[in-house]
Amino acid sequence: MTAVQELAPSQEIQQNVIFPPGDLYSDEPPVETELHLRQIILLLQCLEWLWQDRNDFYAVGNLTIYYSPRQLKSELCRGPDFFVVLGTERKARKSWAVWEEDGKYPNVIVEILSPTTASTDRNFKKLLYQNTFRTHDYFWFDPYTLEFAGFHLVDGEYQPLEPNSQGHLFSQQLDLYLGIHEQKLRLFTTEGELIPRPEEVAQRETQRAEQETQRAEQETQRAEQEAQRAEQEAQRAEQEAQRAEQEAQRADRLAAKLRELNIDPDTI
């Protein structure tokens, strides 16, 4: 993000100000690097997959939040890298205009640090999100140095979050942990399970399907082997029966020959 400016506290917007229309387009500059873009997409994909059955939230990245009509005439804070609003309709938006959204501000904000924005994210934006947005959970993450910090709003002021034994920070608003996994900022359940990306889910399903197929093939092979063994046993039994029948036939022929010679077979 670029450097930002903000209204001084004495320049509060009066209630009788006429707000501009709410269908304003976002006015965000491109993200700094591909790594920043991939990180934002990663958080968005994971949360939307986890909450795929929910329609009461809005999650997005690099989108302008309009909260003052003066933003149309002066350079104010641009949109967070990633934010989540709870208790709202899940639908596509051109931007987030607070006055068109029942006065709602983000419940959770994540900023992706860069050399040009780190100071702003750690200082100015932290105060803005604390004092103006009143955003409950604020996190920042540097995809290169892996600097990671989080804050929760307590009595109107941000208090640092304490990491758990895995180094993860808990978001009360999301009821999820955020933590570093393979040098990426990821979401985790309260049980510590990694929230997967959709492609990771697809890979797991593919692996499971392949394993099921292999198990089925092995079962088929075992069944075929059992059938072959049973057939071999049946063949051996049939051969034994044939040998017994041949022996009986030979005995009958011998007995008949002996009778022709007037010899009692029982005397032999």
pLDDT in tens, 107-143: 999 999 999 899 999 999 999 999 999 999 999 999 9
pTM: 0.71
pLDDT of residue 265: 66
Q: Does residue 155 have a pLDDT over 50?
A: yes
CB-based burial of residue 183 (10 Å sphere; 0-12 exposed, 13-18 middle, 19+ buried)?
exposed
Identify the pLDDT of residue 77.
Answer: 63
pLDDT value for 72: 58
Give the amino acid at 144: Y
What's the rounded Cα separation, in Å, for the pair 42 and 256? 94
pLDDT at residue 6 in the model: 41
The residue with tokens 């040998």 is 243
Architecture (CATH level 2) of domain 9-196: Alpha-Beta Complex (3.90)
- CA nearest neighbour of 27 among 86, 92, 97, 91: 97
Judge whether 77 and 98 are in contact, CB under 8 Å.
no
130 versus 3: which is more confidently predicted?
A: 130
Q: Where are the domains of the chain?
A: 9-196, 203-267
* pLDDT at position 213: 64
**Nearest Cα to Cα of residue 108 among 183, 29, 176:** 176
Q: Identify the pLDDT of residue 244.
A: 83
Q: pLDDT tens digits, residue range 15-65? A: 445 556 657 778 777 788 999 999 999 999 999 999 999 999 999 999 999
Mean pLDDT of 229-241: 86
